[in-house]
Amino acid sequence: MDLIIKGNKEYELLDSGEGEKLERFGDFITERPDPEALWPKKNTALWQQASFCFTKNKGWTKKDKKAKDWQVKYADLNFIIRPTSFKHLGLFPEQIENWQWMDKIIRQNNNRLISVLNLFAYTGGASLICAKAGASVCHLDASKNAVLWAKENAEISGLKDKPIRWIVDDVLAFLKREIKRGKKYDAIIMDPPAFGHGPKDELWKIEEDFLELMNLSKKLLSPNPLFFLINGYTAGYSATVYENNLREIFDNGKIEKGELLIAEKETGRLLPAGIYARWQKDV
């Protein structure tokens, strides 16, 4: 099941094509590369309105000298939008359908304490959604700056005092320690990159480490888990790969998979923005 995200007051995909995408985050328009946009642009004049432009050679350049880091309200949370050297901005709007899915499951099970593990958690959108819905969350990322950014998002969203553990660590090392400690989680979220490094320069390669990641994660699931979500952006795999791994863990419940797609504001043309596979317990 593909998840199609349409624009709203705070976010819109204005145009795309020729290896780029033009988006509006709140008050500012950004232009950045996207290799999936392999088609012609529709409105070339609109691209002149971008306040921020990213190129591989120069990184981000400001067309509007007044522009700087800014905030948007998305999914009833506040996010700091901050252009990074990796062309990211700190918000992945295509995840809103997954966020709403998690929010619903947690709220439907509010008669129990719910513990959520968010791996490769970056700036914390999923962590904040789960915490706001009533779960306790363990937020893990190998980047200290990303975790600090997520904590800023929590604070400006009014979630500073929610039960969130902020962890900077190598994911495999942390999971092994959690298993030894006898820790269990009712839900797991992950967004494994194709390649990366831990805080002590530990090497991560998805083709070599993903199966161990899934095996360790399985051992951390509680006896009555609620959901498991895998997102993918850069590894080049099909969503079926993630679906097959979920079927190795679960023999009941519901599994869905597909593309994450963003619809352009005027044309409705769909821009691929990632893949996902998710499991939830039987209702």
For residue range 122-168, what is the model confidence (pLDDT) as tens digits?
Answer: 999 999 999 999 999 999 999 999 999 999 999 999 999 999 999 99
Distance, CA of 245 to chain centre: 19
Number of residues written out for the chain: 283
- The CATH classification number of 94-280 equals 3.40.50.150
* pLDDT exceeds 80 at position 283: no
Query: What letter represents residue 84's amino acid?
Result: T
Cβ contacts of residue 64 below 8 Å, gap of 6+?
28, 51, 52
Percent of the chain with pLDDT over 90: 86
Query: What letter represents residue 224's amino acid?
Result: N
Percent of the chain with pLDDT over 70: 99
Q: Where are the domains of the chain?
A: 3-81, 94-280
CATH entry, 3-81, from 2.60.40.1180, 2.70.98.30, 1.20.1070.10, 2.40.160.150: 2.60.40.1180
Closest CA to 190 of 161, 164, 160, 216: 216
* pLDDT exceeds 80 at position 225: yes
- Note the pLDDT of residue 57: 86
User: Using one digit for the tens of pLDDT, what is the confidence trace for 8-42?
Assistant: 999 999 999 999 999 999 999 999 999 999 999 99
Decide if 91 contacts 81 (C-beta within 8 A).
Answer: yes
User: Using one digit for the tens of pLDDT, what is the confidence trace for 86-135?
Assistant: 899 999 999 999 999 999 999 999 999 999 999 999 999 999 999 999 99
- Note the pLDDT of residue 227: 98
CA distance 49 to 14: 11
What is the per-residue DSSP string for the chain?
Answer: --EEE---SSEEEEEEETTEEEEEETTEEEEEE-TT--S--S-GGGGGG-SEEEETTTEEEESSTT--SEEEEETTEEEEE---TTS--S--GGGHHHHHHHHHHHHHTTTS--EEEEES-TT-HHHHHHHHHT-EEEEEES-HHHHHHHHHHHHHTT-TTS-EEEEES-HHHHHHHHHHTT--BSEEEE---SEEE-TT--EEEHHHHHHHHHHHHHHHB-SS--EEEEEESSS---HHHHHHHHHHH-SSSEEEEEEEEEEBTTT-PEEEEEEEEEEE---
Max CA pair span of the chain: 58
Closest CA to 139 of 149, 234, 210: 149
Decide if 174 contacts 200 (C-beta within 8 A).
Answer: no
- Note the pLDDT of residue 135: 98
Beta bridge partners of 74: 77
Token readout for 67 is 């522009």
* pLDDT exceeds 80 at position 67: no
